[in-house]
Chains A and B, each alone.
Chain A
Amino acid sequence: MPAPWKEVLKKIDDYRWEIPRSYKTGMSVPGLIFASESMLNHIWEEQVFQQVANVAFLPGIVGHSLAMPDIHWGYGFPIGGVAATRVKDGVISPGGVGFDINCGVRLLRTNLTEEEVRPKIEQLVAALFINVPSGLGSEGKIRVSEKELEKVLTKGSRWALEKGYGEAEDITATEESGCLKGADPDKVSSKAKKRGIPQLGTLGSGNHFLEVEVVDEIYDWDAATVMGINDVGQVLLLIHTGSRGFGHEVCTDYVRLLGEAVKRYGISLPDRQLACAPVQSPEGQDYLAAMSCAANYAWTNRQCIAHWVRESFIRVFGKSLRELGMEQVYDVCHNIAKIEEYTIDGKKHALCVHRKGATRAFPAAHPDIPDIYKNIGQPVLIPGDMGRCSYIALGTELAMKESFGSTCHGAGRVQSRSAAKRSLRGADVAKALAAKGITVKTGSIGSLAEEASEAYKDVSEVVEITDKAGISHKVARAIPIGVIKG
């Protein structure tokens, strides 16, 4: 029997599959999935096509409702979805950003080699585990008043820098320099602030992690050198976390508020979780202002965590920061909505680009990327699951034309958390990782099974597709040797 999706999808090439508008009445634009043929069976089984099609209902959506190869079943929007709407007459949807606003990834380089780090890995992982609060219900070491929190919300990474967390160069090596403009704390509920205050400077739980990794393959030596990645065997550190309960509450509040706005503006939607309001409406502008606060909270969070990570390395290796060479390569967000400019049919348009589980991938010479990367393009950081590997890539010109400057964000789940828990035991996962030379520390052994490799798509396959399709360009790969799981 032919695969059921064959009747629905129009093959464009080996990596592009279109969902025609005829798939579901009400779609304003077609859908486009970046995937290999072998991935489509699973994507079909999950009914993700429905979700890609539902996003195509959003008023003012342009181009395609996009799905990256790491796409999986979400709520409302699929995870791995990208949708761009016209600022002029389109909508903004909090569900198109998700609950963990500005969940993202930060990469630090080091001068250390695997040979230097291996003998001290247990000690290093233990130090990281102590210095960076993690796990469900954990509280941060930072104490801020509500007034001080409001400064975090408007300043972002710079707040942390002013308080002594991190280096000035970290700011330039962060998407949006670690601060979205237009953040207005008055548009954030007191409940969100109450959730945010104790959790600032915490890793959280779920799929959030710290990873000590070793470069094991370099595909583009020139670009890698620009990023400070000089050789195979070099040690890097990856931070994956977001805006914690603060962002969750902002999303919760605005899905509710915009759910009411939908009726006022007469918008018809196939799923209530797609709640939205015109970008230019008071409700839309309020969400953008509150979302920007959450984005800035997340950048501050990663900035503080990066500082404690550096302190841990300094202590364990007895070297100065300069000797360690722990510079920030880049920091990207993968749950966000941004106002960006694109050329469509020769005309420039301001668009609201929703990236829910997708990474910005701007090309060389783009005005919004730091000077050091002007010649190569914006670094794209793609974490895999803790047993496999992660990738460093670059944005491309083609991404600007085809995917609103976006590419994939990670591996993408294939197995539910409880299914993973049923088939695997946390202790066995830890043993299997140890056999691969990966030291893991977690506050919850059960969560290890949830995040095991078996629960995820192979990130290498995901990255291969975005590379071959041309929406990002592979630079290097790194494998984990030490992991902190929340």
Chain B
Amino acid sequence: MEKDFEIIDHTADVVIIAYGTSLSQTFANAAKALFNLITELDNVEEVLHRDIELVAPDQESLLVAWLNELIYLFDTENVIFKRFEITKLNNTQLKARSYGEKVDSSKHKLKTGVKAATYHMLRIDKDNGYKAQVLFDI
């Protein structure tokens, strides 16, 4: 895989395309793209982790739920995540551990507020590896 993700502009929102050789890697890269919108990840250290367990009716909904859970954690705990270990993933269930640290305004410059991941233009394709597209309201 040449790149983990791409970010594509839209007028009032932003679309990310995450790549991966496996679905787990694609979900992890989508999360990385999300936090990359929020801040530069180079300065973020792995000092804490949070565990997430989710169920959803299908794979696409699971992806949206995963990203929205991370937005929720950022919003309520001020945590920026940079690495994601997806330990269980099928069409309806996800288990993951995410690593990062709390926002420290002396070293983290926050770029964009992300309101939510949406279902608009949402798709997961499997060809040579996986490709997932998500639109965020920002």
Contact = CB atoms under 8 A, between A and B. Distances in A.
Contacts, number: 93
B13 interface: yes
Nearest to B118: A75
B61 interface: yes
Given A137-B103, A252-B68, A446-B111, A271 B120 contact: yes
A272 B120 contact: yes
Contacts of A191: 72, 76
Interface string B1-40: 0000001011111100000000000000000000000000
B115 A100 contact: yes
Contact of B10 (A73, A204, A252, A446): A73
Nearest to B68: A252
Interface residues of A, number: 42
A354 interface: no
B119 A255 contact: yes
B116 A137 contact: no
Contact of B119 (A46, A204, A272): A272
B75 interface: yes
A137 B10 contact: no
Contact of A416 (B10, B113, B135): B10
B76 A194 contact: yes
Contacts of B119: 76, 255, 259, 271-273, 275
A256 B10 contact: no
B86 interface: no
Contacts of B101: none
B92 interface: no
Contacts of B14: 416-418
Contact of A136 (B60, B65, B113): B113
B62 to A, nearest CB: 11
A415 B9 CA distance: 9
A445 to B, nearest CB: 10
A28 B12 CA distance: 27
Contacts of A418: 7, 9, 14
A132 B137 CA distance: 24
B120 A76 contact: yes
Given A206-B138, A417-B112, A272 B11 contact: no
A417 B137 contact: no
A245 interface: yes
Given A99-B116, A252-B68, A75 B11 contact: no
Tell which of B13, B122, B135 has the most Cβ of chain A within 10 Å: B13
A251 B120 CA distance: 14
A476 B115 CA distance: 33
B12 A72 contact: yes
B113 A72 contact: no
A296 interface: no
A416 B12 CA distance: 6
A113 to B, nearest CB: 36
Interface in B66-92: 68, 71-72, 75-76, 78
Given A191-B72, A195-B76, A251 B11 contact: no
A73 B11 CA distance: 6
A204 B118 contact: no
Interface string B36-66: 0000000000000000000001001100110
Interface string A243-280: 00100110110011001100000000001110100000
A470 B9 CA distance: 35
A76 B116 CA distance: 13
A159 B8 CA distance: 42
Nearest to B119: A272
Given A205-B113, A206-B138, A252-B68, A413 B120 contact: no
B11 A416 contact: yes
A248 B116 contact: yes
Contacts of B60: 272
Interface string B109-137: 11111011011111000000000000101
B35 to A, nearest CB: 13
B65 A75 contact: no
Given A74-B13, A191-B76, A413-B12, 14 more contacts: A73-B11, A73-B12, A76-B120, A98-B137, A99-B116, A135-B110, A198-B76, A248-B71, A259-B61, A414-B11, A416-B9, A416-B12, A417-B9, A417-B112
Listed from nearest, the 4 A-B pairs whose CB atoms lie closest are A75-B120, A272-B119, A416-B9, A273-B120
17 contacts: A46-B11, A72-B12, A73-B13, A75-B135, A76-B118, A99-B116, A137-B78, A137-B110, A191-B76, A198-B76, A245-B75, A248-B71, A273-B118, A414-B11, A416-B10, A417-B9, A417-B112
